């Protein structure tokens, strides 16, 4: 069976989970600054994908209603 959920949704979900887990580990073990890059990169990936999806949603909504923003 194939999933009807977009791949970007799965990436966002997994990225959010790993970012949360990485932040918890970094804070718990008081890791050095180099380890902070892992959760920050994961958070950035999720933010970029969310921005792309939101812009696509706005474009589709604008096209459906014929509104000009």
Among the listed residues 18, 14, 12, the one whose alpha carbon sits nearest the alpha carbon of residue 39: 18
Among the listed residues 56, 46, 37, the one whose alpha carbon sits nearest the alpha carbon of residue 9: 46
Show me where the domains of the chain are located: 8-65
Model pLDDT, residue 67? 57
- SS3 percent helix, strand, coil of the chain, rounded to 5, is 80, 0, 20
User: pLDDT tens digits for 17-67?
Assistant: 999 999 999 999 998 999 999 999 999 999 999 999 999 988 888 888 875
Model pLDDT, residue 15? 94
Give me Rg for the CA atoms of the chain.
17
With bands split at pLDDT 50, 70 and 90, how would you rate the model's confidence at 3?
confident
């Amino acid at each position: 069976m194939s999933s009807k959920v977009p791949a970007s949704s799965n990436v966002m979900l997994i990225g959010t989970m790993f970012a949360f887990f990485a932040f918890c580990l970094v804070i718990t073990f008081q890791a050095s600054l180099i380890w902070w890059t892992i959760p920050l990169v994961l958070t950035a990936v999720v933010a970029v994908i969310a921005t792309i999806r939101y812009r696509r949603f706005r474009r589709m909504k604008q096209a459906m209603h014929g509104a000009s923003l």
